[in-house]
Amino acid sequence: MMMPKCAIQHNELHLPQPLTGIQQLAESRRFKAWLLDQFGVLHDGKQPYPAAILTLEKLAKTGAKMVIISNSSRRSSVTADKMRSLGFDPSLFLGAITSGELTHQYLKRRDDAWFAALGRSCIHMTWSDRGAISLEGLDLKVVENVEEADFVLAHGTEAVGLPSGLSISKKIEDLEKILEQCAARRIPMVVANPDFVTVEARALRVMPGTLAAKYEQLGGEVKWMGKPGEIIYQSALAMAGVSASDCIAVGDSLHHDIKGAITARIPSLFITGGIHAAELGLGAFGEVADESAVRALALKHEATPSYSMPAFTW
């Protein structure tokens, strides 16, 4: 069944069209490219969601271009390796664009005026259990003393980098105390992953965006890399070679995925079983959310999607 190619008015306070699967949208070929979030849509960090791999394979057969667009602290090549390790076929995608990749490129090139003005010494907030982030090739000096830092670089929420290249584990409360010192010195922050939380094996893990929001509350200046900023969407559109109206963005975060898509004037599909599952009263995978609850939550976030569905299924 062909779907009408009508313009989608994103900012209308309309109820998103509920779907049970993407088959109708995909087979209509309404969208030439699909911009897919990974955590909360394709997998939970530990394993693929049921039917996600099969759904991607069927979507590929329609001729759709697929790009992973992710608020991951890690570079795009690491994301591709991660997807492969979880059983996904990377050849199905044109590529991956991550907030971590954008951060790396902007810090390396420094052809943007804001980044050109940054110094080279930084307080580096990173990961420990999830694996530290390499700063190789960026000509940065990691420092422990806030007085020596030109800016804060937030890749993770578990540790602080040391000049030796190693890191020392820290609690969120400890990191926030460091941020208070940084804010007092009025040094800027670059956040390589704007997410507040992410789904990990059905639980929610605190992400760097939470630190960045705290830093703004303290009066600090933050450069948000990734969703919902337009830069990452522009990069994805360029990779796919399509216009905003010819693609659809799929994600589970109203603040990041859906609001970002709306800002970029891209139609969107909200996966209700991701980070908002508990807020929507959902338990089991694939459980259908109450339409009025979805609408209310979307209005709360000022991010009404074009479509909604429980999980990324065919």
In this structure, which amino acid lies at residue 103?
T
Q: For residue 129, what pLDDT is reported?
A: 77
Question: Quick one: average pLDDT of 17-21?
Answer: 96
Predicted confidence at residue 313, as pLDDT, reads 98
Q: What single-letter DSSP state applies at residue 256?
A: I
51-110 confidence digits (pLDDT tens): 999 999 999 999 999 999 999 999 999 999 999 999 999 999 999 999 999 999 999 999
Do residues 242 and 33 touch, judged by C-beta distance below 8 A?
yes
Give the tens place of pLDDT for each residue, 176-186. 999 999 999 99
pLDDT number for residue 274: 93
In this structure, the strands spanning 159-161 and 141-142 are: unpaired
Average pLDDT over residues 282-297: 94
Distance CA 19, CA 313 (A): 10
Residue 11 has pLDDT above 60, yes or no: no
Decide: residue 212, CB within 10 A, 0-12 exposed, 13-18 middle, 19+ buried: buried
Q: What are phi and psi of 275, to 5 degrees?
A: -70, -20
Q: What is the mean pLDDT of residues 182-198?
A: 94
For 213-244, what is each residue's pLDDT tens digit? 999 999 999 999 999 999 899 999 999 999 99
pLDDT in the model for residue 200: 67
Of the pLDDT bands very low, low, confident and very high (cuts 50, 70, 90), residue 198 is: confident
Tens digit of each residue's pLDDT (9 = 90 or more) over 135-175: 999 999 999 999 999 999 999 999 999 999 999 999 999 99
**Mean pLDDT in residue range 206-214:** 95
Band the pLDDT of 130: cuts 50, 70, 90.
confident
Q: What is the pLDDT of residues 250-269, one digit of tens each?
A: 999 999 999 999 999 999 99
Q: 3-class SS at 200? A: strand
Confidence class for position 4, pLDDT limits 50, 70, 90? very low
pTM for the whole structure: 0.88
